[in-house]
Amino acid sequence: MHTFLSRVNAVSAFSLSTLAALTFLCFASTFFINYTAPVTINAANIVLKNVPEYAVSREKNDLGALRFDLSSDLTPLFNWNTKQLFLYLTAEYETPNNKVNQEVHVTTHSVCVPSFNSEKWLSLSWGFQVVLWDKIIRRGDASLVSLKNQHLKYYFWDDGNGLLGHKNVSLSLSWNIIPIAGTLPTWSGTGTYKLTFPAEYTQGRTY
Amino acid sequence: MMDTVLGFSVHMDFEGQKLAERLFQIIVVTFGAVGWLYGYYVQDFFMTVLTLGAGFVLACLVTLPPWPVYRRYPLKWAPPQDAASASTSGAENTSGKKKKK
């Protein structure tokens, strides 16, 4: 403290420690917040094809396609510890191949959430889920989501013929809260859309 | 040797150091607490960081330069002893200690 530089050091170190404490308090003030929100999902133009997925094999697999509407007010999710949101639309369903919350064998899509025999995923009581679409909303962006007639971003492949005539595929929206400081929690919106796939495959290029 | 910056002596005496440390602690913590509450109120943590930064700048202005208030209690040194009467090594030792303070 007797020299100029030692005072610079002392003030800087003390200020940084204070900043760290304030950041932790900011995290603590948002840790118990409920980050769920109502979501309205609708789907249309539901098409089912049976085509080979050459990345995996020559066997034909079910490929679903649809357009969807999505509306939700995500403004309450943005507090002073929210940096951005990662929204993702998932389809959850059960087939003879893939029972919900059991060992799942998945094609090599990175978009399929349960990975190969992963104990970690199985321990979370999740079903067989396929991520179809995602979006990032940064702080300051429009947080009132209202999307109409959107394409899927990722292919809706099944690892077999599980989608044909399936009457209980539920679409739901979930999000990761990316904070300024703290944990990276995953929350889901309330409100799902129950999807029914046609009992016949669509031929040709119609989408 | 006293420390100098651009030819100016920048040391503080002991009482001044104590006062300066207490002052920057109070300034930084006060600005941090007010900034935290303000940031919570407007729900923007950047405001907290800005307020703390303002406190840091103010604390630097108040405590980095050796203002006269920090130099009111200069040490009273014993008068220099005759070098011949004291042992040479002992004299060097004490003078070295004095200079470091």
The confidence score (pLDDT) of residue B99 equals: 44
* pLDDT range class, residue B101, cuts 50, 70, 90: very low
B85 or A142: which leads in pLDDT: A142
Q: Do B64 and A8 touch (CB under 8 A)?
A: yes
In a domain, A201, yes or no: no
* pLDDT range class, residue B77, cuts 50, 70, 90: confident
A20, A87: one domain:
no
A57-61, A98-102, B81-85: lowest mean pLDDT where?
A98-102
Q: Which tokens go with A135?
A: 């979006």
What letter would DSSP give residue A109? -
A148 exposure class (CB count in 10 Å sphere: 0-12, 13-18, 19+): exposed
A73, A130: one domain:
yes
* pLDDT range class, residue A135, cuts 50, 70, 90: very high
Alpha-carbon distance of B37 to A125, in angstroms, equals 39
In a domain, A64, yes or no: yes
By residue range, what is the domain housing residue A3? 1-32
> Does this complex have an ipTM over 0.85?
no
Test mutation, B3, B17, B36, B62, chain A, max A CBs within 10 A: B36
In a domain, A91, yes or no: yes
> Of the candidates B3, B12, B32, which has its C-beta nearest A18's C-beta?
B32
The confidence score (pLDDT) of residue A161 equals: 87
The confidence score (pLDDT) of residue A158 equals: 87
Report the number of distinct structural domains present in chain A.
2
Under 8 Å between Cβ of B15 and B77: no
Residue A173's contacts (CB-CB under 8 Å, 6 or more residues apart) are: A39, A41, A70, A72, A87, A88, A89, A90, A188, A189, A191
Nearest C-alpha of chain B: how many angstroms from A12?
Answer: 8
Q: Do A4 and B21 touch (CB under 8 A)?
A: no
Q: Do A14 and B24 touch (CB under 8 A)?
A: yes
In a domain, A205, yes or no: no
For A139, name the nearest residue in chain B, comparing CA atoms only.
Answer: B44
State how beta strands A193-195 and A169-179 pair. Answer: antiparallel
Chain A residue numbers with beta carbons less than 8 Å from the beta carbon of B61 are none
A74, A157: one domain:
yes
The confidence score (pLDDT) of residue A119 equals: 38
Q: What is the pLDDT of residues A39-57, one digit of tens each?
A: 999 999 999 999 888 887 8
A22, A93: one domain:
no
Q: CB-based contact (8 Å) between A3 and chain B?
A: yes
In a domain, A206, yes or no: no
Closest to A132 (Cα-Cα) out of A184, A50, A67, A56: A67
In a domain, A113, yes or no: yes
Secondary structure class of A161 (helix, strand, coil): coil
Q: Do A11 and B12 touch (CB under 8 A)?
A: no
With a cut of 80, say whether residue A121 has pLDDT above it.
Answer: no
Give the residue-averaged pLDDT of A157-165.
87
A44-48, A105-109, B92-96: lowest mean pLDDT where?
A105-109
With a cut of 90, say whether residue A139 has pLDDT above it.
Answer: yes
Nearest C-alpha of chain B: how many angstroms from A3?
Answer: 5
A147, A46: one domain:
yes
Alpha-carbon distance of A122 to A76, in angstroms, equals 31
Under 8 Å between Cβ of A185 and A177: yes
The confidence score (pLDDT) of residue B86 equals: 55
Closest to A127 (Cα-Cα) out of A99, A163, A154: A99
The confidence score (pLDDT) of residue A202 equals: 87
> Number of CB pairs < 8 Å for A and B?
71
A75, A7: one domain:
no
Give the residue-averaged pLDDT of B46-72.
94
Helix (H) or strand (E) holding A22: helix A4-30
Q: CB-based contact (8 Å) between A22 and chain B?
A: yes
**A97 φ, ψ (degrees, to nearest 5):** -70, -35
A59, A144: one domain:
yes
A49, A18: one domain:
no
With a cut of 80, say whether residue B64 has pLDDT above it.
Answer: yes
B48 or A119: which leads in pLDDT: B48
What's the one-letter identity of residue A106? V
Helix extents (H) in A105-165: 119-123
| Geometric angle at alpha carbon A21, from A16 and A25, rounded to 5° | 145
Q: Do B32 and A21 touch (CB under 8 A)?
A: yes
A10 or B7: which leads in pLDDT: A10
The confidence score (pLDDT) of residue A122 equals: 37
CA A16 centroid distance within chain: 35
The confidence score (pLDDT) of residue B74 equals: 87
For B30, name the nearest residue in chain A, comparing CA atoms only.
Answer: A18
Q: Do B63 and A11 touch (CB under 8 A)?
A: yes
Q: CB-based contact (8 Å) between A10 and chain B?
A: yes
The confidence score (pLDDT) of residue A1 equals: 80
A22, A54: one domain:
no
Give the residue-averaged pLDDT of A53-67.
86
Chain B residue numbers with beta carbons less than 8 Å from the beta carbon of A7 are 20, 63-64
Q: Do A25 and B64 touch (CB under 8 A)?
A: no
Q: Which tokens go with A192?
A: 């799902």
